Structure formats: C-alpha cells, structure tokens
Amino acid sequence: MSVPENPGFNTRAVHAGQDFEPLTGAVVPPLHFSSTFAQDGIGGLRNGYEYGRGANPTRDSLQEQLAALEGGTAAFSFSSGLAAEDSLIRAIARPGDHIVLGNDAYGGTYRLISRVLGEWGIGNTPVDMSDLDSVARAVAAGGSANAPAGGGKTRIVWVETPSNPLMKITDIAALAAVAHEAGALLVVDNTFASPYLQTPLALGADVVVHSTTKYIGGHSDVVGGAVVVNDPELASKIGFVQFAVGAVSGPMDAFLTTRGLKTLGVRMDRHSENAQAVAEWLLERPEVEAVLYPGLPSHPGHELAAKQMKKFGGMVSVQFKGGEAAARKVAESTSIFTLAESLGGIESLMNYPSEMTHASVKGTELAVPVNLLRLSCGIEDVEDLIGDLDQAFSRISAL
C-alpha cells in the first residue's frame, strides 16, 4: 500500500510497514515464525532473508513502523528495553569511556550502566539534567573519577524526560547542544512520552530508546525494547551488535507490539486525559504532600513540557504527608489500580518504586522517596479511577 506524502501520526501508525499480503490480499501482514529461509543457490538470498537472528519479516515491519513514528531512518526491535540499552551502549562506548546520566534515571538503567557495564570499565556520573552547567562540567570531566587508567571520554549523555518516577522535564534541544559541543551523543529514553507525545530526534537527540513493553505495546502482554536513530553509520554499528549478540525480538513479540502500536495515538489521548484529571484531584487532597505531573501549572517543568510535548502523558507520581506508612497503605488498598511492576498498559497500575522498580538504587543518590507512589493511569472511566483512590485514601486515617 502506498501511504500519502507526509501522513499524520495515526495514519503512519496504522499503515507504515503494513502492506497487505500480495498472495491473498490479507490486510494484516502474516506472522512469520520461520527461523531460517530458503536460498536460491549459495548466497542467493530472497529479499535479504537468511536466518531469523539477522532479519525476520515480522520484525522488519515493526521496525519500519517505529522509525516512521519517531522520525528516524532506522529502528531496531529488541527482546527487552534493557537489551536495547545494553546493545546501544556497547555499540558506542568502550572500556575507559564515560556516560553522564540523569540522577533520577530508571533503576534498571542505572544498574546496567553502573554494575554490569561498570565492571566492563565504562564510567558514569549521575547529574541533575535540569542544571545544564553541571551537565557540561560532568561531560567535560569525562571518566576521570570512574573509568580505569585515569579517565575516558564522555560518549553518551543519557536522559529520561519525563523521568521515572520523579516526572522531571529536561530541555532536549539544550541538552543536545551541550552533548554535541563535547562530541558526545544524546540518548533520550522516550518510554514515558511515547512518539505520539514527543519526538526527541526532531529536537536534536541522536538516539531514542524505548521499553516497548510499556505504551508502545500498550496491553501488558509483551516485553520488548527499541532503538531509533537517524545516522546510517551509527545504525550500522547498532545493527552489527544486535546481530552479533542476538538480542532480537521474536516474531510473536514483534507482531503483538505492532498491533499495539497501531492504536498508540488514541490510547495516549485517553491516558493523558485521565492522568490530568487524577493529578488535579490529588492536588486538592489534604493527605498529599506533592503531586508530580507536568500537566499541572505548578510543576516546575510545565512550560517546557507544553513546548516539547503534545500532551502530558499518563504517568502521575504522588507523595504523602503520612510518609512511608501512608504510601504503603494506599498501594495495598486499591481495586482498579493494580499493584504491579511496569506501566503504560490499558489497565491502571500502581507502583511503590522504593521497593519495586527502583529497589536497585536504594541507598544511592538515585534513591526514590519512600513516601512516593507512581500511578500509571489506564483508559478506564476516570470517575472510577478517582473513586478507587478516594476509598484507598480513606484507609490512611486509620493509621
């Protein structure tokens, strides 16, 4: 199928990489489970397919979709978000090199960089990404404090915006300028925003990463990750590492992710509307110490988020005056909000990051406040979500 020139987001989501099957006319491309492909003689590949680790038609369709939605020229679909991050970093950095990352990074990302790649000799410095002067100093310092043999060059500046779970907003264009001046690449984890709400490559970023498990898949039924780039040389390096390491998404995972991605736009509209209403309701509650949501005018990153995002997303974090006990009580008292890891599905989830998603950074400067809950607002009726929170809040008074 030929897609019109400059189609809108939802048109790209539905049609990019989704040509109908020519033999039967099936409008949904078939799922290709084959691990290997017949060759027309030695070296005679059919449309470039040889072995499933190198390429698979179902995975290729998803990758074309991802590139079209993020405004990139190449995308790579991985078996998980952390597999994507690992292969990306290994494609760019070497022992002795250095990564500057946000001091509120996802716990799994920090664990990968500090404990796995740190043992490989890659240094890191966590920094407040809103302080561009501090970022510039950390980038310029390279790996002198962390890397072996006295130091290394900063290769990557890594940021999440909005961040997980503190919902900080970073100026992508300004951060790209800082990174590029030092010869580093800017990597943006766009998982919370999704390509529907934010396109970092258009703002100057060099690489976008996703846990496609979250909003892109959208139904809590598939684990995956993605890397999207514009530079052909960088794409070649990432593709080589992915092939050599083998961290590819399987055909069924790619198929499920493609199916979810087609409805990303309409889902993100509803996620964002529900989160805005929940955040405004939380803001009026006497039990609440702080509501962290960029859609609130009181959020320090509100104006910047409004500038670089289409809407404000479905994630809300809330801190309680009653401390850890209050947060735990609410987390264990809801019925529509399910207490679970992950986020971005059609159902609403609640998470206690200090002991769940961010347990790996307890005791470090990246530790999450113990009075904080992270809410992933699903697509249910918002009145029911607020009612569920209201009855859970009533349990706090019994503490």
The catalytic residue positions are 53, 106, 189, 214
Write a three-state SS string for 300-364. CCHHHHHHHCCCCCCEEEEEECCHHHHHHHHHCCCCCCEECCCCCCCCCEEECCCCCCCHHHCCC
DSSP secondary structure string for all residues of 9-50: HHHHHHHTT-PPPTTT--SSPPP---SB---SSTT--BTTB-
CB 7 within 8 A of CB 69: no
Single out the residue of 100, 299, 258, 297 nearest to residue 187, CA to CA.
100
* DSSP-derived 3-state class of residue 115: helix
Q: Any idea which residue has 């390096």 for tokens?
A: 237
Work out the number of other CB atoms within 10 angstroms of the CB of residue 250. 18
Query: Distance (Å, rounded) from C-alpha 384 to C-alpha 57?
Result: 42
Q: What's CA 273's distance to the chain center, in Å?
A: 20
The 288-292 sheet, strands edge to edge:
288-292, 315-320, 372-376, 349-351, 338-339
Work out the number of other CB atoms within 10 angstroms of the CB of residue 140. 14
Give the CA count within 13 Å in the CB-facing half-sphere of 178.
25
Count of H-run helices and E-run strands, the chain: 13, 12
Query: Distance (Å, rounded) from C-alpha 48 to C-alpha 85?
Result: 26
* DSSP-derived 3-state class of residue 249: coil
